[in-house]
Structure 1
Amino acid sequence: MLSREDFYMIKQLRKEGAHIVDIAHRLGCCERTVRRYLALPAPKTGRRTQPRGSKLDPFKSFIDHQLAEGVWNAEVILHKIKDLGYAGGGTLVRDYIHPKRALRPNRKTVRFETAPGHQLQHDWGNLEVLLAGERCKVHIAVNVLGYSRRLHVWAAPCEDAEHTYEALVQALEHFGGVPATVLVDNQKAAVLRHNAGGEVQFNEGFLQLAHHYGFSPKACQPHRPRTKGKVERMVGYVKDHFFQRYQRFESWAHLNQLLTQWVTTVADPRTLRQFDQSPAARFIDEKAALQALPVMRFDTSYRDLRQVGWDGYIEVRGNRYSVPESYCGQGVSLRISLDDTLRVYDKHDALIAEHRLRARTDGWQTTPSHHKPLWQSVGVQQRNLSVYEEVLS
């Protein structure tokens, strides 16, 4: 039971326009309590009654241990204690955890709501998991639409420019449209520097991506990543929810397949308490406000230059790959997609060769038609074998 002072504080904060969820966070109680006190004409009086036993009592020590380990998602904890025999509902779990959230580091910041289709927020997170039987670091790109809170998550081995652009492209394709602005942190894949006067110098590749899809690039203020608080919260949500349920993956494809399934079945239908709607329901309004996707997909391949050897091969990542013999000694450009497809282009940007990247132990990769004219042009000296027959005899 809250005190008389808490009662009047709730009334005053609500009168000033504070959200119920923020009032509950400030007082360390649940939102139902705030709503109940707002409905009362006057504060309650009388002595506190002795609390009754709860179905949750045998599991409280386990919950406390989970909180100490950094697991604060009530749904994840509910799933775990049900495996231990808990027969109650999720409300008891949430009510028990809510007052303890004040023990977490304060991340509170001002929330700015945006119109449908106005903004997408992008951020990366990372953690270690078991992938193909080995412990490795996984980087997760999270993209969130500001109005609906609908998200897209993609796992990758690193956070370089090419993977950043691929994550954004996949998110736009997932949403089926393009928002007016994309807000990013100050990673080098997107932002080179903040100049004097507040001017932002964006990475040229990121500007090309923005121009291709027709969105305006925006960057957080330096040392203020919480400007994009919606996506920061969702990075934590993915870590505390998805990666608490799933911790072992057969491959990158398996990991991303599970992420897509989880987003569709868990993240999209969840209820946003401040709106009493799900992201999927709010996305109906946002979908109509998104710009159409362009006809051509943005190319997120790695790019490089090579000189073709006189034997008609180029060296790429420790192995050698054939190109047509007519390009011997000439310069060519390379594009290596994130699925390890190698494409070779001439100076006119025409495709002249395509290979799958292979390990050095697989040997040189040769397309027979590339070198057939070369071998035909090589003269072979003809000798009469009778000379050797005389020597042997």
Structure 2
Amino acid sequence: MSQEITQDILSQAVKDVIAKFGKMNLAELERMLHLSRQQLRHLQKNDFKLMPNGNTGKSKTTKISPFSEFINTEYLAKGIKNSSVIFDALRRQGYKGSHTSVKAYISKHLDLVPARRILAANTPNRGRRYVTEPGEMFQMDWGFVNVCDNYGNIWQCACFAMVCHHCGLRYVEFFPSAKQENLFIGMVHAFMVMGVPKTVLTDNMKSVVIKRLGDGTPVWNKEYEAFQTLIGFKTKLCKVAHPFTKGAVERLILYVKQNFIVGKTFTNITDLNNEARTWCYEKNNVITRSRDVVPMEEHYKHEAFSILPEIARLIPYLAPMRTISYDGYVNYENRIYGVPLCYSGKFVRVQRTGDVLKILTPDTHDELYAHHVNWSKNRTTASDNGLLNRRNSRHKKSPRHWHLSLQGIQVGGLIGSLS
């Protein structure tokens, strides 16, 4: 029966037909209400009163109904909605229905299945900004950038970045790799420019911390622990997988990738570091909107820092230890340099300032040999007499002009103050 027919409409139509014809005329009533003759006869038996359906209010019992509580609590509430698994379990419980009925029941009760991701309770923002006092904290991190040289070759460099958390003073230096010895060199250079803070905030890199104990206490890398003790600062670690704790230096690395590197070519890594020094000087003299200060002015006028120890105590970190091979070569940054054969098998320290690499004695730090880095493309090509002549004259005194050339990208020398 049409849902538009109500009891009032039906009663009024019956009165109109009787008034017009003097008796009930089902044909006229059919034209007025658009109901079938069978429906009208059914209504006539009930004195034209709309009666509710006989099944109204009755609950439909199916074969799966006795098992609804079992399905809801044991499977759907636990996130299990595989119809085959539920069907097999119901069969063991005595279910006689079909698999299709089980799938239909699951599809109608998917609201009982918990979400895959449990919504966390309302908690404070974990990335809330915080401020530190002048000279209190620097943030430090590594980043990896792709650099284009003048020949169109792409090189990957490790970008060491340090930023003052109070004023935003930036320091950037590039290295061939993110080894611990390069970390020490970058930190010493940064401290020479920016001063030594009370605390350095960094992440859980292996060159800083080996692991954490059950209570969260860090187990420091022995070399790094000795380094921070010598310099006189403390290290604070970010929570694991929470890089936004040191968001200032993370943003600095992204700024280098999107601003400094873009559209530029460099001769070598010394040229790259010289350009980075100029870029940092320019950016440090521009007011920062987040802090509303000029970092260069704020840093050196209003902040007090500790001073570095004397340079002799820093040489072990600026000039890493190396062993000279049996044929008179020393390896530094994946490049080899020649030295007189009389030093074969001995320990030396290697330091490069600008384009000059110096080989020093391990104790007194006297200069044994020096090479001018010519940045040639062949990493193992010896000039003049060549590698073959060196091997054939092991027992002769090596001439001082023997040296090996380098290729690609190398670490720049000691960077002076930005001021």
- Using structure 2 for the length normalisation, give the TM-score: 0.53
CA contact (8 A) 1:114 1:147 kept: yes
Which among 220, 227, 235 is matched to residue 209 of structure 1? 227
SS in structure 1 of the partner of residue 163 of structure 2 = strand
Runs of 5+ unmatched residues, structure 1: 1-106, 373-393
SS in structure 2 of the partner of residue 122 of structure 1 = strand
SS in structure 2 of the partner of residue 136 of structure 1 = strand
Separation of aligned partners in 2, 1:286 and 1:215: 19
Which residue number in structure 2 is paired with residue 123 of structure 1? 141
Judged with a 3 Å threshold, the aligned counterparts in structure 2 of structure 1 residues 166 and 210 are, in CA distance, closer, same or farther, namely same
Separation of aligned partners in 2, 1:137 and 1:275: 32
**Pair 1:290 & 2:282 matched:** no
Q: Spell out, residue by residue over 1:177-218, the C-alpha distance to the aligned partner (whole angstroms, 9 max, x if none).
A: 210111122222222222221111222222232122211122
Judged with a 3 Å threshold, the aligned counterparts in structure 2 of structure 1 residues 131 and 199 are, in CA distance, closer, same or farther, namely same
Q: Spell out, residue by residue over 1:95-135, the C-alpha distance to the aligned partner (whole angstroms, 9 max, x if none).
A: xxxxxxxxxxxx98222211111111101112212124211
Which among 151, 167, 172 is matched to residue 191 of structure 2? 172
**Pair 1:249 & 2:266 matched:** yes
Output aligned runs, 1:270-349, within 5 Å.
Answer: 270-287=286-303, 289-296=304-311, 297-298=314-315, 299-306=317-324, 314-317=328-331, 320-322=338-340, 324=342, 332-338=346-352, 341=357, 343=359, 345=361
Separation of aligned partners in 2, 1:276 and 1:305: 51
How many angstroms does 1:355 deviate by? 4.1
Separation of aligned partners in 1, 2:132 and 2:148: 38
Which among 382, 390, 393 is matched to residue 361 of structure 1? 382
Separation of aligned partners in 2, 1:284 and 1:272: 16
How many angstroms does 1:143 deviate by? 0.4
Give the residue type in structure 1 aligned to 2:270. Answer: A
SS in structure 1 of the partner of residue 138 of structure 2 = strand
Which residue number in structure 2 is paired with residue 148 of structure 1? 167
Q: Spell out, residue by residue over 1:49-95, the C-alpha distance to the aligned partner (whole angstroms, 9 max, x if none).
A: xxxxxxxxxxxxxxxxxxxxxxxxxxxxxxxxxxxxxxxxxxxxxxx
Separation of aligned partners in 2, 1:232 and 1:321: 41
Output aligned runs, 1:78-227, within 5 Å.
Answer: 109-133=127-151, 134-175=153-194, 177-227=195-245
Separation of aligned partners in 1, 2:181 and 2:264: 26
How many angstroms does 1:153 deviate by? 0.8
Separation of aligned partners in 2, 1:113 and 1:280: 18
How many angstroms does 1:338 deviate by? 4.6
How many angstroms does 1:147 deviate by? 0.8
CA contact (8 A) 1:130 1:247 kept: yes
SS in structure 2 of the partner of residue 112 of structure 1 = coil
Separation of aligned partners in 2, 1:283 and 1:174: 11
Separation of aligned partners in 2, 1:219 and 1:108: 16
Of stretches 209-218 and 336-345 in structure 1, the one that deviates more from structure 2 is: 336-345
Which residue number in structure 2 is paired with residue 231 of structure 1? 249
Judged with a 3 Å threshold, the aligned counterparts in structure 2 of structure 1 residues 174 and 319 are, in CA distance, closer, same or farther, namely closer
Give the residue type in structure 2 aligned to 1:198. Answer: G
Which residue number in structure 1 is paired with residue 284 of structure 2? 268
How many angstroms does 1:157 deviate by? 1.6
SS in structure 2 of the partner of residue 361 of structure 1 = coil
CA contact (8 A) 2:138 2:197 kept: yes
CA contact (8 A) 1:120 1:144 kept: yes
Of stretches 294-303 and 189-198 in structure 1, the one that deviates more from structure 2 is: 294-303
SS in structure 2 of the partner of residue 187 of structure 1 = coil
Separation of aligned partners in 2, 1:274 and 1:342: 43
Give the residue type in structure 1 aligned to 2:380. Answer: A
SS in structure 2 of the partner of residue 143 of structure 1 = strand
Superposed CA RMSD in Å reads 3.3
CA contact (8 A) 1:323 1:352 kept: no
Give the residue type in structure 2 aligned to 1:227. Answer: T
Runs of 5+ unmatched residues, structure 2: 1-124, 374-378, 398-419
CA contact (8 A) 2:322 2:330 kept: no
Separation of aligned partners in 1, 2:142 and 2:255: 13
Judged with a 3 Å threshold, the aligned counterparts in structure 2 of structure 1 residues 198 and 341 are, in CA distance, closer, same or farther, namely same
Judged with a 3 Å threshold, the aligned counterparts in structure 2 of structure 1 residues 138 and 315 are, in CA distance, closer, same or farther, namely closer
How many angstroms does 1:359 deviate by? 3.4
CA contact (8 A) 2:352 2:358 kept: no
Judged with a 3 Å threshold, the aligned counterparts in structure 2 of structure 1 residues 193 and 132 are, in CA distance, closer, same or farther, namely farther
SS in structure 2 of the partner of residue 337 of structure 1 = strand
Q: Spell out, residue by residue over 1:244-282, the C-alpha distance to the aligned partner (whole angstroms, 9 max, x if none).
A: 3x42112212221221111112x2123222332221232
How many angstroms does 1:319 deviate by? 6.1
CA contact (8 A) 1:109 1:229 kept: no
Judged with a 3 Å threshold, the aligned counterparts in structure 2 of structure 1 residues 236 and 359 are, in CA distance, closer, same or farther, namely same
Give the residue type in structure 1 aligned to 2:273. Answer: N
Paired residue total:
252
Which residue number in structure 1 is paired with residue 31 of structure 2? none
- Using structure 1 for the length normalisation, give the TM-score: 0.56
Separation of aligned partners in 2, 1:154 and 1:352: 26
Give the residue type in structure 2 aligned to 1:196. Answer: G
SS in structure 2 of the partner of residue 291 of structure 1 = coil
Judged with a 3 Å threshold, the aligned counterparts in structure 2 of structure 1 residues 345 and 332 are, in CA distance, closer, same or farther, namely farther
Which residue number in structure 1 is paired with residue 110 of structure 2? none
Of stretches 203-212 and 179-188 in structure 1, the one that deviates more from structure 2 is: 203-212
